[in-house]
Amino acid sequence: MNDGCMLTLVLLGLLTCPAGERIALAQERPGAEVRIGVEERLGETLPLDDLEFRDEEGKPIKLRELFDRPVALTHVYYRCPGICTPLLLELAHAVGQCDLKPGEDYRLVTISFDPTEESELAKNKKNNMIAEVKNKQVPPDAWRFLVGDAENIRRVTELTGFRYARDRNQVDYVHTATVILLSREGTIVRYLNGVTVNPVELKMAVLDAREGRARSFMSRIGELCYGYDPAKGSYVLKVNRIILAVMAILVVGFLVYLLRKGKSRKAFGEPPAGGAL
| SS3 call for 187 | strand
Which amino acid, residue 160? T
Asked if 22 and 125 sit in the same domain, the reply is: yes
> Phi then psi for 71, rounded to 5 degrees?
-125, 135
Whole-number Å distance between alpha carbons of 100 and 109: 16
Q: Which helix (H) or strand (E) holds 199?
A: helix 199-209
Q: Which domain holds residue 245?
A: 240-268
Whole-number Å distance between alpha carbons of 76 and 84: 6
CA angle 188, 166, 168 (to 5 degrees): 150
Asked if 58 and 96 sit in the same domain, the reply is: yes
Whole-number Å distance between alpha carbons of 191 and 204: 12
In a domain, 205, yes or no: yes
Cβ burial, residue 62 (10 Å; 0-12/13-18/19+): middle
> Phi then psi for 159, rounded to 5 degrees?
-65, -30
Residue 56 has pLDDT above 70, yes or no: yes
- Is pTM beyond 0.75? Reply is no
Q: Which of 5, 187, 165, 162 is nearest to 86 (CA)?
A: 5
Q: Which of 6, 180, 4 is nearest to 90 (CA)?
A: 6
Q: What residues pair up with 25 in beta bridges, in sequence order? A: 33
Q: Which of 48-57, 94-103, 195-204, 261-270 has the lowest mean pLDDT?
A: 261-270
Task: Give the pLDDT band (50/70/90) at residue 123.
Answer: very high
Asked if 178 and 252 sit in the same domain, the reply is: no
Asked if 167 and 251 sit in the same domain, the reply is: no
C-beta separation of 179 from 74 below 8 A: yes
In a domain, 185, yes or no: yes
Whole-number Å distance between alpha carbons of 107 and 169: 35
Report the length, in residues, of the chain.
277
Task: Give the pLDDT band (50/70/90) at residue 234.
Answer: low
- CATH of residue 146's domain is 3.40.30.10
Q: How does pLDDT run across 171-200, given as a tens digit for each residue?
A: 889 999 999 999 999 999 999 999 999 998
Asked if 35 and 166 sit in the same domain, the reply is: yes
130: left (phi over 0), alpha (psi -120 to 50) or beta: alpha
The structural domain count of the chain equals: 2
